[in-house]
């Protein structure tokens, strides 16, 4: 694990980078949090655990911190940051990228995926819908779109992920974790299994 700076025309983007192990990397997962940024993610730091586990399977993990941290999160700035991170990964020779975002970051990864052919799949956790356009969601198909939401999320209710799901096409998947709040920490074990399985499918092992 190393702290790096992803350069961009709008300024430096701080990130944590865990490179894939082995001679045949499968791609990378790019993870972002809510409008307040940070590297650890929801469910008591599940991004950090992904950064420990996925590189051993040949998948790099780039945890990106947003340049601008205000509430509500700036949609265009966040999208720019994720696309800059995606381009950085491509520059490292990792041409297949899975995007994972929580809350505000969920909307951001949907927008970024609609703008980059390098994105193999998109996962939105407890997503907001502000900033998500109907045509952007539709354009993701047939690439995988995984939506996970807590059934007890009072901050952003699960109907938001359900709305995104109704717009999506082939490749869509929705899981409502009953009893989980916005951070999903109450169902962390289930979230972990869902994420590992999904990333494994989106970034398959080379033959």
State the total domains in the chain: 1
Residue 197 resides in a domain: yes
In a domain, 207, yes or no: no
Phi and psi based region of residue 32 (left: phi greater than 0; alpha: psi -120 to 50; beta: remaining): beta
pLDDT digits (tens, 9 = 90+) for 168-207: 999 999 999 999 999 999 999 999 999 999 999 999 987 7
Which residue range is the domain that position 123 belongs to?
A: 2-202
We report the CATH number of the domain holding residue 39 as 3.40.50.1820
For residues 104-112, give the mean pLDDT. Answer: 98
Residue identified by tokens 């999506």 is 168
Q: pTM for the whole thing?
A: 0.97
Based on C-alpha coordinates, what's the Rg of the chain?
A: 15
Angle of helix 104-113 versus helix 75-91 axis, rounded to 10: 60
């Amino acid at each position: 694990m190393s702290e790096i700076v992803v350069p961009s025309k709008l300024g430096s983007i701080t990130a944590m980078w865990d490179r894939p192990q082995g001679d045949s990397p499968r791609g990378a997962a790019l993870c972002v949090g809510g409008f307040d940024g940070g590297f650890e993610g929801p469910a008591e730091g599940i991004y950090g655990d992904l950064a420990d586990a996925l590189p051993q399977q040949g998948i790099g993990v780039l945890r990106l911190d947003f340049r601008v941290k205000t509430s509500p999160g700036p949609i265009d700035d966040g999208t720019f940051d994720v696309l800059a991170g995606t381009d950085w990964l491509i520059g490292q020779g990792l041409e297949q990228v899975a995007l994972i975002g929580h809350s505000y970051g969920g909307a951001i990864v949907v927008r970024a995926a609609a703008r980059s052919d390098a994105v193999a799949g998109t996962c939105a956790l407890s997503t907001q819908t502000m900033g998500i356009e109907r045509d952007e969601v539709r354009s993701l198909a047939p690439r995988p779109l995984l939506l996970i939401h807590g059934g007890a999320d009072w901050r952003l209710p699960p109907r938001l992920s359900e709305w995104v799901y109704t717009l999506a096409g082939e490749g869509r998947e929705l899981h409502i974790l009953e009893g989980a709040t916005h951070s999903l920490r109450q169902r962390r074990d289930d979230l972990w299994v869902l994420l590992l399985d999904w990333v494994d499918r989106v970034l398959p092992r080379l033959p």
